[in-house]
């Protein structure tokens, strides 16, 4: 019971502290130096991750968005920007990974989800103003080496979504799941 109270208090505090981040997420599309962009995902089981502190709430539904509308998908020529990895991103990625992977790893628990390693973070902006954020990194269950292969794993979210969507593992080929322009901005290649 004490864990539940502490978790609730931590979430409430994170939401209060994140109010400025909400403004930053809705700010100018031309600002490539946004570092407050993060997201939340709550598996509803096991807890333990920060879930992000942008205050956008929980859920792993990739279609969830404030006000019921979503940002347009970036189209036309894409501008890609590598961004600093927000400190609170790891918990959101862990929660989203667990929600997606638990059906294939029924013995895995949220507590056994590794902290993502070698994380890359960035965004693509289309000529039409659409924005999508991407994160890529190595993750899996601590006690299951099979879950740790075929990375890096990829997550994405548009600027109106409340939570990250787990895209999947790449088998080493980032360009199959991340726009080529962003892969290049990260200093990687599509070979």
Q: What is the number of other CB atoms lying within 10 angstroms of the CB of residue 92?
A: 30
Say which residue, 109 or 42, is predicted with more confidence.
Answer: 109
Is residue 24 predicted with pLDDT exceeding 50? Answer: no
CB 72 within 8 A of CB 129: yes
- pLDDT digit string, tens, across residues 78-89: 899 999 999 999
pLDDT of residue 20: 33
Distance of CA 139 to the CA centre of its chain: 13
Question: pLDDT at position 70, please?
Answer: 61
- pTM for the structure as a whole: 0.64
The sign of the CA dihedral 153, 130, 190, 120 is negative
């Amino acid at each position: 019971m004490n864990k539940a109270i502490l978790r609730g208090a931590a979430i409430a505090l994170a939401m209060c502290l994140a109010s400025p981040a909400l403004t930053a997420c809705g700010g100018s599309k031309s600002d490539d130096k946004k570092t407050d962009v993060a997201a939340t995902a709550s598996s509803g089981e096991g807890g333990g991750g920060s879930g992000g502190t942008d205050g956008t709430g929980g859920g792993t539904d990739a279609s969830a968005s404030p006000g019921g509308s979503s940002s347009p998908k970036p189209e036309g020529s894409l501008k890609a920007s590598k961004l600093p990895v927000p400190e609170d991103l790891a918990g959101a990625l862990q929660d989203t990974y667990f929600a997606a992977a638990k059906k294939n790893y029924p013995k895995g628990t949220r507590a056994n989800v590794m902290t993502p390693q070698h994380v890359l973070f960035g965004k693509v902006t289309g000529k039409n103003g659409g924005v999508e954020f991407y994160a890529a990194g190595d993750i899996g269950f601590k006690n299951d080496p099979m879950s740790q292969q075929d990375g890096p794993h990829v997550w994405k979210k548009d600027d109106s979504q409340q939570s990250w969507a787990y895209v999947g593992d790449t088998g080493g080929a980032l360009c199959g799941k991340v726009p080529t322009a962003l892969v290049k901005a990260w200093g990687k290649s599509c070979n």
